[in-house]
Amino acid sequence: MMLDFIKNIPQDLHPILIHFPIAFLGFSFVLSFLSMRVSRWNEASWLLLWVGGLSCIPASVSGVISHFPYEETELHEVIGTHQNFGILGTLFVFVLVGIRYWTRRRNRDFGLRKSYLVPAGAGLIWIMLLGGTGGQLTYQYGINVRGVNPLFHESWESKVINESSQEIGSNTDH
C-alpha cells in the first residue's frame, strides 16, 4: 500500500523535482543579499545559483511533460500561465548564471556588486510567483491530485470540475 506511489513517479516527477531549484535558487538569492555585508557568502551564493540553474532543467522538462495530459482540457490555459512563468524564469536563471560565470572569469564577479541585488530580488519574486501559480494548480484546480480528500464533503475532482466550469463560463461572458 505505501509503495503504490512508485507506479505514479513519472506522473509525479515534476512535484518531486521542483523543490530542488526552489531551495537552491532561493538560498542563492538570499545569500546574495547577505554577501553584501559578509563577502564570504558570495561563494556559496554562486555555487547554489549554478546548481539551482542545473536543477531547473529536469524541473522544467518534467513540468512540460506533466502538462501534456491537460492539453485538450479547459485547464490548459491556467496551466499555461504557470508553464510560461517556469520557462521564462529558467531562461532568466541561465542568463544570470552566464553573466556571473563570465564576470567571475574576469575577476569582476557581478554577484559582488550592489546592482546584482536587482536580479536577485527579481529571482525571489519569480520563485514566489511560480510557487503561487503551482500551488493554485494543485490546491484550487486539483491538478495531479488523486483520490478524495477526506476533509471535503464532495469529491475533490467534482469540486474542481465545477469551479473550472464556472470560471470558464464567467470568462466567456465578457
In a domain, 2, yes or no: no
Q: Domain range spanning residue 82?
A: 7-66+74-143+151-172
- Residue range 19-45, pLDDT digits in tens: 999 999 999 999 999 998 988 999 999
In a domain, 90, yes or no: yes
In a domain, 101, yes or no: yes
In a domain, 129, yes or no: yes
SS (H, E, C) 47-98: HHHHHHHHHHHHHHHHHHHHHHHHCCCCCHHHHHHHHHHHHHHHHHHHHHHH
Say how many domains are in the chain: 1
**What is the mean pLDDT of the segment spanning 90-106?**
95
What pLDDT is stored for residue 19 in this prediction? 94
pTM of the model: 0.78
Among 1-5, 57-61, 69-73, 169-173, the range of highest mean pLDDT? 57-61
In a domain, 78, yes or no: yes
Q: What is the dihedral of CA 108, 112, 113, 118, to 10 degrees?
A: 120
What pLDDT is stored for residue 168 in this prediction? 60
In a domain, 1, yes or no: no
